[in-house]
Amino acid sequence: MSALSFASMFMPQRVLTALTAAYFKFTTWQALGQKEYHREPTTINHTTMNIHLVPALKDNYMYLLVDKESGNAAAVDPVEPEKLLQKVEELQVNLTTVLTTHHHWDHAGGNVELAKLRPGLIVVGGDERVGALTKQVKHGDEITLGSLKVKSLFTPCHTSGHICYFVDEKDPAVFTGDTLFVAGCGRFFEGNAEQMYKALIGILSELPDHTKVYCGHEYTLQNFKFATHVEPSNPAADEMKKRCENLRNEGKPTVPSTIGEEKKYNPFMRVKESSILQYTKTSDPVEAMKILRSEKDSF
């Protein structure tokens, strides 16, 4: 039992709240001393769920998805298990599931340790290379988290087993790993432009426009340098770039954006637009995807 939970047996709620806040400020300060946080932890309140952003490593995001009705929670790409579990304790939620977007170590590298610390966890992924995997999913498979339904979207290209997770609620969310970033997309390590076209245009663009996008990295400002280079006269890109620069100056994450916003400024989501086809000097959107990505690789 920690000193804090021991104290909670005797103290009034008001005092306890202040004490809890002070305790977490202190532990955050301790962590800052060891390693610089790239972003503040943040919570996004959806109608039926809360999504907690937990920064990890240099620029990764882990997420804790919590069903408000049951208090059941899923960790998305929990690469730093201790830090993730600290959040679980702080919120007093019931961690049942791990959702893994892909096998790369900066996403799946914490799975084995987390499964050891919390026996009985369901570890979901689309690739046998995902550590501690207990449930391999394919396109369209649904996972239940309390009252929430989480749909697997097979989006191979960055890796051949990449999965995005769509929480199909009236206030929806999608976890896009290293497939879709704010204003960008992942590298084509194990796939090609046709696959990324299918992932971004065929699958993710078809989600409701108000779907909030939770991606795997804070790459937004670098991505906007490229996006505004490709489309120098796109006001939506300028506007969002400024908004994100301000957020970053305040130490806040630029995540989440929405699918509707991404369609307005993300060049990889816009390969059917005439401005992108002109820039890439082709009439074929798949070819435009290929050209954009190879340019971005050396930008």
Q: How far is the CB of 178 from Zn ion (least distance, A)?
A: 4
Q: Distance (Å, rounded) from C-alpha 177 to C-alpha 191?
A: 15
> Quick check: 46 binds Zn ion (CB under 5 A)?
no
* Residue 293 binds to Zn ion (criterion: CB under 5 A): no
102 is catalytic: yes
Q: Which of 67, 77, 127, 178 is catalytic?
A: 178
Given the residues 103, 106, 127, 162, the one annotated as active site: 106
The residue from 46, 87, 103, 104 that contacts Zn ion (CB under 5 A) is 104
Please identify, among the stretches 49-57, 73-81, 96-104, 291-299, the one whose residues bind Zn ion according to the rule CB under 5 A: 96-104
Stretches 103-111, 138-146, 165-173, 236-244: which one binds Zn ion (CB under 5 A)? 103-111
Concatenating the DSSP letter of every residue in 127-185 gives STTSTT--EE--TT-EEEETTEEEEEEE--SSSTT-EEEEE-SSS-EEEEETTEETTEE
170-189 residues near Zn ion, rule: CB under 5 A? 178
Q: How far is the CB of 106 from Zn ion (least distance, A)?
A: 7
Task: Round to whole Å and give the CA distance between 13 and 18.
Answer: 9
Q: Is 127 a known active-site residue?
A: no
For residue 179, the minimal CB distance to Zn ion (Å) is: 9
Q: Is 178 within 8 Å of 106 (Cβ atoms)?
A: no
Distances (CA, A) of 69 to 66, 145, 168: 9, 10, 15
Q: Which has the closest alpha carbon to 63: 165, 185, 183? A: 165
- Taking contact as CB under 5 A, which single stretch among the options 43-51, 100-108, 160-168, 230-238 is the one that binds Zn ion? 100-108
Place of tokens 């929990």: 78
Q: Which member of 46, 52, 103, 107 is catalytic?
A: 107
**Rule CB under 5 A: is residue 77 a binding residue for Zn ion?**
no
Catalytic one of 102, 103, 127, 162: 102
**What CA–CA distances, in Å, run from 174 to 116, 164, 216?**
27, 7, 11
Judge whether 284 counts as a catalytic residue: no
CB of 185 to Zn ion, least distance (A): 11
Rule CB under 5 A: say whether 218 interacts with Zn ion.
Answer: no
Task: Quote the DSSP letter at residue 214.
Answer: E
Q: Which of 46, 52, 158, 162 is catalytic?
A: 158
Other C-beta atoms within 10 Å of 14: how many?
A: 8
Which residues are catalytically annotated?
102, 104, 106-107, 158, 178, 217
Using CB under 5 A as the criterion, which residues of the chain lie in contact with Zn ion when the complex forms? 104, 178
